[in-house]
Structure 1
Amino acid sequence: MTRLAPFVAAIVAYAAAIGLAFFSGGFFDDARLVAGIVVWLTVAFVMAFGERPLPRSRTAWLAIGALAALAAWTLISLAWAPLAGRVEDDAQRLALYLGFSLLALFACSDARSRRWLEPLLLAGLVAICLEGLSERLLPSLFQLDRSQTAAGRLEQPLTYWNGMGMVAAWAWLLGARIAGDGTRSHPLRAVAAASTPLTGLALYLTFSRAGIAAAAAGAVVLLAFAPNGRQQLRALAAAVAAATLASLLANELPTVRSATPGMVGDPGDGALMLGALLALGGATALIGVSPRSTGASERLRLPVGRGVAVLAGTGLALTAAAVAVALSDVRPTAQSPVRGANPQRLGSIDTNRYTYWRVAVEMAAREPVRGEGSGSFAAVWRARDNRPDRASDAHSLYLETLAELGIVGFAALASFIGALLLGGAGALRRHPAVAVGPTALLVAWLVHAAVDWDWEMPAATLPALFAGCALLGWCPEERALSANRQLMDASYDDATSQPRSPRAVSPAATAPDR
């Protein structure tokens, strides 16, 4: 049972992170409750039979403690929140996230997780994208539900186009990362590279500006911190080119670009797009994957550290863009841009979110310490006159938490996110080749969650939590604390002259990293 526990934890965590996508993203009660029950039953199994099942570092304890505090404060806010049902929904979701994080931490404390996490996540995320694209590529075989609000944008199986944008961005980033990882086998890298035209197309067909921004943020992380910069740059360039070509072709195929209710797909358009994806996938596998090498000749030579150069360049580019907008006649308006599957959306900075965020700030100003209660944004928004829509969320995890749960809830959330980022920094120092991919996923999610309601859709959050918990499991502090415990145990055994069990110290705990 002891040896089986990490495997069971990994399977259940993976099934939750990927499987909920096929049940409306886990947004509704039934799927979320079933997932929560299964996750917590597995936590109980791991606690009973797992070897050292609790978090193994102070940073991991901080993450779990902060998430538990956020869940507790959410429940406490039931005393003043205007909508009890929304508090219950939020608390159930946080319970799922807490149990999931415990499972992911335990599963990723096994060193073998450093090799399987990225490929398995990529396979699951690509499967989600494939289902969403199925009715556009093979309309005679597949028909999916369509909503009026999506207006033709790629929304299935999550039922939300921006959520699908997050999933597609993760899949594209993982494909590009594995393709640029010289420590992986060549066949795996080729398959990963071949997936990027498909996942890039899925991202484009969501017409999600936040999804594209999240992918860009993750790409910056890959360029800045991947150990072999030249290989990673080559893989990213090929992935960008392939996704761009696939998107340009899709733009010319009406039933691929859009799937509005009542529209009948064109098998000819789908076949042409499918053939193009296969061709682009093969070309990307050939061009984007360089021969395996980790020598100095393959590193990008820059006058300063590559990470500093990439991050500084990104900061300058963002500053220049902001200045250009400020000096131009363009002024963002608090209304939705062109509706539906229209490329013009991608060139607009108009959005209803400006109004959502202003309301959230007003709420935080009224109740700065405790907030107005979990789920209260929906009540405040719907009480407004002349509101443009029936939004239920502030479309920003950070502002919504500050508005609904005040400084107390925001501090808990910030502590949780800070712990994940600390784990990422530690893992990047010790295992850069395997840690940079999960770090890119986590950063992409942090960017996307700033402008959307990912937190309310488990399928758009759990993969990021999986990545973040993996980074915590791989950070150096874990090994240091483990070594300290072993030294203390050894001292105690020497003092009492008691024999040590041969299983007390695992060979993996003292073996050098490879």
Structure 2
Amino acid sequence: MRSGRPLELLVRAAPVTVPSLVVVLVSVALVFDDVGYPLTAWAPATVLVLGLLGVAVATLPNAWGDVPTPVRVAAAGLVGLTAWTFLSILWTPDRGAALEAGGRTVLYAAVFLLFALWRQRARTAALVLGAWTALMLVLAAAWTVRVGAGGQAAVDLFLDDRLRSPAGYPNASAATWLMVLWPAVALAASARVPWVARGAFAAGAVVVLPLALLSVSRGSLIAVPLTALLLLVLLPGRLRHLGTLLLVAAAATPGLLAALDVGDVLTTPGADPSSDLRAVAVLALGGGLVAGAIVAAVARWEAARPSGDPRVAALHRAGRLAAAAVVAVGLVGGLVAVGDPVDRLDRAWTSFQGGYAEDSGSGNRLASGLGSNRYDFYRVALDGFTAAPLVGQGAESFRQSYLRDGTSTETPRYPHSVELRVLGELGLVGALLLLLWLGGAAWAAARAVRAGDPLTRAVVAGALGVTGYWLVHGSADWFWEFAGLGLPAVAMLGLACSLAPRHDPPRAPLMRARGAGELAVLALVLGAAALTVLSPWSAQREIDRAAAVFATRPLESYSRLDRARTLDPLSDRASLLEGSIALRYGDLPRARRAFEDALERVPDGQYATLQLGAIAAVQRDRPRALRLLRRAVALAPRDPIARESLAIVRDGGVVDLDALSAAILRGAASLS
């Protein structure tokens, strides 16, 4: 057999494997760019994925009638959700932000279609899942080494006592590593995976736990056990997966305990956390080596035994008994620790409603209850739903709703829940489309589990673990906006769907030619989808360049901002930046024109309204200043800067534009 023949056979069995692996590389690359949160990170990824989808549709054999019904239902749901997001531009208060929201959904829809519509075989699907898992585990080990190196470079990775790298947001950083835990465990537990790979996956699973704990994410403490429970209840091979998960947890325990102590050192003035961080890294990597060696040794012994060997069966029985015993002990211990469950739930609900405790800056954050401002976020999101239950307030409308109707000092852009995001912004129509997508995908995955062999079931378990964790944790956080989290979650859901049984034509050709008419329609659809991303992406690049040169080359900066407005006629960002730059140079007429243009694009823009009111006061147009400043206060009643500016003008004074800009910058920095 020629060298490389096995890989060639795999690709021939499922040619969509090649573009799928390219998407895997894109997904991993997004980790290095704030886990795909910036527009300039996910927009080029979207264009690339659309190109891969176009090549697949144009060349790979497939027919809509051959796609299983559940997959078609799921695809229709997500494509419909994408179209509905764009349609909401007609009634949303911020059309530019809604355009970006639609573009991000285009990315998810394109990834899902690419992964779900073409049939995968168990081995090719395992290759895709294993490649993503292995690359992410390598990154986790690299980040652990960076943390363990100590010094100022390691401290800079933290925000106070929380590891914020690589996402810039600690909760998203924790999710970056915890999403990969589930496929690592599933592949480590599968007898169909080579023993060396099983040991490596188990080792990596140990490493990610202490690394994730350094982000001190309270949501992860709830999401991890819930995800484990869902997978163990809904998927086969429960005790095998549970045994591997328990071994991973045991090996990770020393590193987890060391990670709990890091926060106190990081927040102690003058303390050097290097030795504590080094201890976390050493214990995490050492625990991984121990667990990996154990799993690899057992896997090799198991693989060397003939099928039906009674010793293998006895080992499996012993493992099942041990896992059952550990679960029983854990349940009893958990019940004892919880005490009165009604009282615990009541206290948790009271904590959730009460917001941040006054002493939230001290003590262990993980034991500080559920206090945050999410209760207020959710209230405003639900109010948006009740105001427009059928169609919602429009994509990306939450920020302005919260500025107006919230009660906390925060100014969130997102409601911190994927379900409430869809319900409040896209209404019942959007929620039904979301359910159609997720329900159809779950149906397809269930069919894959029932009809598949052990390797298929292992891949489905691992893939659903990725998506399940993203959904569970994302139900209380804004993970939809991090493409580096959403892309792999959606891709792995599509991978599970691709394993649903279907009737392919016998000996289908590797490539398939499409007619000129089909190719023209395909190019038109994908080109239009790409344009919705290219427009805001190109504009943002000009804005970024303008921001970089305005201090030394203001005319060039203005020119770039003019191009940005042309490239993205819906967004107000370029005009807001131009107005701010003009104020810095004392050019009040230009600043006024820029802020007025911003209000034409986003009529409820509070920042532009506030600045125009201040400019009117400086120009001695007191009636206009009062009208605009009252409007700014009405748009954000809790904004102390707007209230103070209004009070100054009411008393016959003039707003100090330099002091106003400095106060706005200080407020933005305190909330970043």
TM-score by length of 1: 0.82
8 Å Cα contact 1:222/1:437 also seen in 2? no
8 Å Cα contact 1:177/1:222 also seen in 2? no
SS in 2 for 1:104: helix
| Paired position in structure 2 for 1:497 | none
Structure 1 residue identity aligned to 2:19: A
Matched, 1:475 2:500: yes
Matched, 1:446 2:471: yes
| Paired position in structure 2 for 1:117 | 128
Question: Aligned to 1:368, which of 389, 398, 406?
Answer: 389
Matches within 5 A, 1:184-333: 184-224=193-233, 227-253=236-262, 258=266, 266-287=273-294, 290-291=298-299, 292=302, 297=314, 298=316, 323-326=342-345, 331-332=350-351, 333=353
Q: Distance in 2 between matches of 1:39 and 1:161?
A: 28
Distance 1:208 1:119, change over 3 A: same
Once the two structures are superposed, what CA deviation does each residue of 1:198-224 show, in whole Å capped at 9, x if it has no partner?
Answer: 200122111112223222223224433
Distance 1:25 1:144, change over 3 A: farther
| Paired position in structure 1 for 2:100 | 89
Over aligned residue pairs, what C-alpha RMSD do you find?
3.6
Q: Which moved more, 1:20-29 or 1:316-325?
A: 316-325
Distance 1:189 1:413, change over 3 A: same
| Paired position in structure 2 for 1:129 | 140
| Paired position in structure 1 for 2:369 | 348
Distance 1:472 1:24, change over 3 A: same
Once the two structures are superposed, what CA deviation does each residue of 1:328-376 show, in whole Å capped at 9, x if it has no partner?
Answer: 6972234235657963334512121111111111111111001111111
Per the TM alignment, residue 100 of structure 1 is displaced from its structure 2 partner at its CA by: 1.2
Per the TM alignment, residue 9 of structure 1 is displaced from its structure 2 partner at its CA by: 1.1
Q: Distance in 2 between matches of 1:321 and 1:179?
A: 37
Distance 1:245 1:53, change over 3 A: farther
Q: Which moved more, 1:450-459 or 1:436-445?
A: 436-445
Q: Which moved more, 1:325-334 or 1:114-123?
A: 325-334
Once the two structures are superposed, what CA deviation does each residue of 1:408-460 show, in whole Å capped at 9, x if it has no partner?
Answer: 11111111111121122112212323322212222222211211111111112
| Paired position in structure 1 for 2:355 | 335
Distance 1:72 1:214, change over 3 A: same
Per the TM alignment, residue 387 of structure 1 is displaced from its structure 2 partner at its CA by: 2.6
8 Å Cα contact 1:259/1:265 also seen in 2? no
Equivalent residues, number: 475
When Rg is computed on C-alpha atoms for both structures, the one with the higher figure is: 2
Distance 1:114 1:403, change over 3 A: same
Per the TM alignment, residue 505 of structure 1 is displaced from its structure 2 partner at its CA by: 10
Distance 1:141 1:299, change over 3 A: farther
8 Å Cα contact 1:161/1:208 also seen in 2? yes
Q: Which moved more, 1:30-39 or 1:275-284?
A: 275-284
Question: Aligned to 1:464, which of 485, 489, 501?
Answer: 489
Question: Aligned to 1:435, which of 460, 463, 470?
Answer: 460
Distance 1:258 1:215, change over 3 A: farther
SS in 1 for 2:41: helix
Q: Distance in 2 between matches of 1:321 and 1:15?
A: 48
Structure 2 residue identity aligned to 1:224: V
TM-score by length of 2: 0.64
| Paired position in structure 2 for 1:380 | 401
SS in 2 for 1:22: coil
8 Å Cα contact 1:6/1:110 also seen in 2? no
Distance 1:503 1:434, change over 3 A: closer
8 Å Cα contact 1:221/1:439 also seen in 2? no
Structure 2 residue identity aligned to 1:335: G
Once the two structures are superposed, what CA deviation does each residue of 1:206-244 show, in whole Å capped at 9, x if it has no partner?
Answer: 111222322222322443356444432321112112233
Per the TM alignment, residue 34 of structure 1 is displaced from its structure 2 partner at its CA by: 0.6
Distance 1:326 1:433, change over 3 A: closer
Structure 1 residue identity aligned to 2:469: A
Per the TM alignment, residue 50 of structure 1 is displaced from its structure 2 partner at its CA by: 1.6
Q: Distance in 2 between matches of 1:21 and 1:341?
A: 31
Question: Aligned to 2:177, which of 168, 179, 187?
Answer: 168
| Paired position in structure 2 for 1:156 | 165
Q: Distance in 2 between matches of 1:446 and 1:89?
A: 21
Distance 1:243 1:341, change over 3 A: farther
Q: Distance in 2 between matches of 1:385 and 1:275?
A: 45
Q: Distance in 2 between matches of 1:192 and 1:228?
A: 17
Q: Distance in 1 between matches of 2:210 and 2:278?
A: 15
Matches within 5 A, 1:32-111: 32-52=42-62, 56-105=67-116, 109-111=120-122
Distance 1:334 1:141, change over 3 A: closer
Per the TM alignment, residue 32 of structure 1 is displaced from its structure 2 partner at its CA by: 1.4
Q: Distance in 1 between matches of 2:172 and 2:270?
A: 23
8 Å Cα contact 1:368/1:407 also seen in 2? yes
Per the TM alignment, residue 39 of structure 1 is displaced from its structure 2 partner at its CA by: 0.8
Structure 1 residue identity aligned to 2:286: A
8 Å Cα contact 1:368/1:406 also seen in 2? yes
Once the two structures are superposed, what CA deviation does each residue of 1:165-196 show, in whole Å capped at 9, x if it has no partner?
Answer: 22221222233222222222221111111123
Distance 1:107 1:462, change over 3 A: farther
Per the TM alignment, residue 277 of structure 1 is displaced from its structure 2 partner at its CA by: 2.5
Per the TM alignment, residue 103 of structure 1 is displaced from its structure 2 partner at its CA by: 1.9
8 Å Cα contact 2:203/2:292 also seen in 1? yes
Once the two structures are superposed, what CA deviation does each residue of 1:305-330 show, in whole Å capped at 9, x if it has no partner?
Answer: x9xx99xx89x979997524246697
8 Å Cα contact 1:131/1:156 also seen in 2? no
Q: Distance in 1 between matches of 2:491 and 2:348?
A: 43
Distance 1:63 1:385, change over 3 A: closer
SS in 2 for 1:206: coil
8 Å Cα contact 1:249/1:273 also seen in 2? yes
| Structure 1 residues not aligned, in runs of 5+ | 487-501, 507-514
Per the TM alignment, residue 5 of structure 1 is displaced from its structure 2 partner at its CA by: 5.1
Structure 2 residue identity aligned to 1:185: P
Per the TM alignment, residue 56 of structure 1 is displaced from its structure 2 partner at its CA by: 1.9
| Structure 2 residues not aligned, in runs of 5+ | 1-7, 512-672
Q: Which moved more, 1:411-420 or 1:55-64?
A: 55-64
Distance 1:504 1:132, change over 3 A: closer
Distance 1:281 1:259, change over 3 A: farther
Question: Aligned to 1:179, which of 188, 193, 197?
Answer: 188
Structure 1 residue identity aligned to 2:481: E
Structure 1 residue identity aligned to 2:460: A
SS in 2 for 1:349: coil
Q: Distance in 1 between matches of 2:15 and 2:294?
A: 41
8 Å Cα contact 1:5/1:49 also seen in 2? no
8 Å Cα contact 2:185/2:202 also seen in 1? yes
8 Å Cα contact 1:165/1:210 also seen in 2? no
Distance 1:335 1:209, change over 3 A: same
8 Å Cα contact 1:230/1:300 also seen in 2? no
Per the TM alignment, residue 131 of structure 1 is displaced from its structure 2 partner at its CA by: 5.0
Once the two structures are superposed, what CA deviation does each residue of 1:135-174 show, in whole Å capped at 9, x if it has no partner?
Answer: 4211359558657xx4331221221211122222122223
| Paired position in structure 1 for 2:32 | 22
Q: Distance in 2 between matches of 1:302 and 1:321?
A: 31
Per the TM alignment, residue 126 of structure 1 is displaced from its structure 2 partner at its CA by: 2.1
Q: Distance in 2 between matches of 1:362 and 1:329?
A: 23
